Structure 1
């Protein structure tokens, strides 16, 4: 086995959203690289997907008590966490924030004591979060947001499902949270980074096109093709591996050049 194929050998890694899409592709890539996958999803993996996890934990990440039970059930000695699970913009706004932001952050912080020194945390953000700098006040207001306060937060800050705003905001806040935690666990060598895919051909791609309408059609026409889960999974695996130890608080665009295209348009380049 080559060095590349041993990149995750001996590592135990938690992957949320492991039953489909990017989560499934990530679990498969981890196994290919020699890692052990602890899969987490609200849906049990079916058919061949069941072979992509070494252990499976069914959990609804919108529920605090369920997350507590999940953390209790997971073993000590975890080498990395890939926060892939998420809801699309067509889901109710409260559910989007609960899963994509509040539950994700809560699970991550609860798991820190079970992570080994040198562990890696990878958050699946999105190109949809690239406008985070324009939402700083709302993001700051969400920093201490808990499960019970999500409904009020959605109303007070107009983070509704209209135009996919709840989804966009969840990814904006996740990118900022990643930046903020660049050195939080540095003494233990635990690092956090994010990946921002563009449109990816998964079961929820249609949800994005439905929500964003003409905007999505324009983006898709600009790209040579939508991404595939196996375009994203190797980058997640890289960030989980010891090859990325000097990356801290980074947000990597994995989008076929779409982020660069938008920057060039914005600045007349």
Structure 2
């Protein structure tokens, strides 16, 4: 399905990124891993990059060409510094993607890993619009201050904005057949799951009771691979919740149609 396609995976050293690299290799892709940590498994090329630093991203982009797919998987949890979270989870995704488009082949696919945490984006539309239009690596602190993006809220807000950006840019590169979509995992058993439990406390425990189990990277990676394949060529600007039904549960409770 992905034979001989050149696909970039950010965050390829661990978690969902590592599993995505593995499944892409199994499907015949040439995988380029981008991560701050060294990564040799399931990648044909590794480029070390600091996603909080636009110069580091520029240096990585300079080494890339003939790209058929980009998986923006790398992300930071809500326990991290808010500015770091916003830079990695949102600004770096936009910056890397926009600078790579010129090096992408026609028909390329971009997949952003968002989160079920972004489900509340309709309540933050004005703040999201302003952030997408004006936030940069240099002014992100003032933008966060302006919109009361403090502490763990940075994670939720970054994912809300990422969902909106994906929808908004769905036809930006339509003349070249380049498409962009999102996958939104729910609670996934990766190295950062403990950070979410620490942040959300009782809420996380209640969420886990609703589900039959936590997700795994093996649950998420095949959905990413599908969105990279030619089988999804007419899927554009969509978000696929891959969360064991958690987002449906949240919507059911929100709109009071629970049984």
What range describes the TM-score normalised by the shorter chain of this pair?
A: over 0.9
Distance (whole Å) between structure 1 residues aligned to residue 184 and residue 228 of structure 2: 15
1:111 aligns with 2:111: no
Deviation at 1:263, TM superposition (A): 1.4
User: 3-state SS of the aligned residue for 2:62?
Assistant: helix
User: 3-state SS of the aligned residue for 2:182?
Assistant: strand
Q: RMSD across aligned C-alpha pairs, in angstroms?
A: 0.7
1:210 aligns with 2:198: yes
Deviation at 1:268, TM superposition (A): 2.3
Which of the residues 239, 249, 256 maps onto 1:261? 249
Partner in structure 2 of residue 138 of structure 1: 127
Partner in structure 1 of residue 45 of structure 2: 55
Q: Give the paired residue count.
A: 256
Partner in structure 2 of residue 125 of structure 1: 114
Structure 1 unaligned regions, length at least 5: 1-6
Distance (whole Å) between structure 2 residues aligned to residue 59 and residue 14 of structure 1: 13
Distance (whole Å) between structure 1 residues aligned to residue 147 and residue 238 of structure 2: 27
User: 3-state SS of the aligned residue for 2:213?
Assistant: coil
Which of the residues 76, 82, 87 maps onto 2:71? 82
Distance (whole Å) between structure 2 residues aligned to residue 33 and residue 240 of structure 1: 11
Which of the residues 178, 183, 186 maps onto 2:166? 178
User: 3-state SS of the aligned residue for 1:160?
Assistant: coil
Partner in structure 1 of residue 20 of structure 2: 26
Q: Deviations over 1:29-66 (max 9, x none)?
A: 00000101000001112xxxx22111000001110110
Distance (whole Å) between structure 2 residues aligned to residue 250 and residue 158 of structure 1: 28
Q: Deviations over 1:120-145 (max 9, x none)?
A: 00000000000000001110110121
Distance (whole Å) between structure 2 residues aligned to residue 264 and residue 130 of structure 1: 13
Structure 2 unaligned regions, length at least 5: none
Q: Deviations over 1:186-234 (max 9, x none)?
A: 0100000000100000000000000011111110111100100010000
